[in-house]
Amino acid sequence: MHRRHPEIDPQLLSETEEQRELRTVLRDFFTEVSGPEDVRKHLATPRGHDEAVWARLAGEIGVHGLAIPEEYGGSGFTFAELAVALEESGRALYCAPLLPTVVLAAHALLGSGDRQACARYLPRIADGTLTATVADFHDEEPGISAEPGAGGPVLRGAADFVLDGAGADLILVRARTAEGLRLFACEPVPDTCVRTPHRVLDETRRQARVEFHGAPATPVGESGDVTAALDAGRAALAAEQVGGSGHALDATVEFVAQRHQFGRPIGSFQAVKHRLADVLVALEAARSVSSYATACVAIASPQLPVAASAAAAVCSETFRLATAEYVQLHGGIGFTWEHPAHLYVRRARGSEVLFGTADRHRARIADLIGLAPPSAA
């Protein structure tokens, strides 16, 4: 049973001077390279993002290696610094695969304790030359099995809705073996790995079905437990959602101050003020729960499962509310391609089910803290 009053140093919940400077640099960077027109342009490309910008983000700013130890080519900072980058990327709707590569795959490798695998892949993740993703990382039995092959283990089965599954250079797979669940690294090749892109609501976050037909793979670590990596992904997604919600609120406030009706700005009407105040209150709550989840990842707190699920539930609902008001207080224009609001609506709707719905996370929290389900009447 988890403690009801977890002990977290309050300083971990506050932004440091270095993190504020990083935020400023990243906001300027994303303003330059990830405006609405840039996002639309990249959606039409084969890879879904600008690979030159991806290289700049890794090389000039060092985002990819922020939370990777120096011994593996990273900067040796913590998840707190990476969360700043994720929040700013979410604010700009940056559509490159930061979440699957820099968070899910990198944290799965670090959590595996496999130094050889970390030394092989993490330096290339840190310098931006390797994109990676994960498959069958969820709470259910995986649909992929690993069996002995002539040259080592091979994978068989399929995983659906794999983030960046059609383009990633490396796939970390949780698979069944005769001894139990294990983690494997697979560098996909067309003859043994069929990758079919899905058409999804949020085209800024590509997903695919990945089928393994005897694909060679390398065992990673000794365990198939990926809970910590998944919870890091939930905390990362929460930071993204806070950034997207912040953009939606700021853009709407700016619009209602400029749009006039009956001879006055519509933002001066009490009903509009109340709706924006509701978004602001929700956003502040989301910032708080996201900061707490970030701190738990950064210090590997045992409270991480509770914090990650709380952040997932609160931040997804806040992002949905903020984007709904983004559309409605712009007079419904967000339903057209001419305005960026619809891109944020799609990201919000896609993100809220990415690692489980809000209801599932609330149920998980209840289970983690020992709340018994209500008895039948």
Query: pLDDT of 103-116, one tens digit each?
Result: 999 999 999 999 99
What is the reported pLDDT for 270? 92
Residue pair 354/236 in contact (Cβ under 8 Å)? The answer is no
How many other β-carbons are positioned within 10 Å of the β-carbon of residue 31? Answer: 12
Query: pLDDT of 18-37, one tens digit each?
Result: 999 999 999 999 999 999 89
Band of residue 376 on the pLDDT scale cut at 50, 70, 90: very low
What is the reported pLDDT for 12? 77
Sign of CA dihedral 63, 66, 68, 73: positive
| Pairing assessment for the beta strands 132-135 and 170-177 based on DSSP bridges | parallel
Residue 164 predicted with pLDDT over 80: yes
The mean per-residue pLDDT over the stretch 363-373 comes to 87
Query: pLDDT of 332-349, one tens digit each?
Result: 665 667 789 999 999 999
Q: Is 115 left (phi over 0), alpha (psi -120 to 50) or beta?
A: alpha
Query: pLDDT of 230-254, one tens digit each?
Result: 999 999 999 999 999 999 999 999 9
The mean per-residue pLDDT over the stretch 359-369 comes to 94
Contacts of 285 (CB under 8 A, 6+ apart): 314, 318
The mean per-residue pLDDT over the stretch 72-93 comes to 97
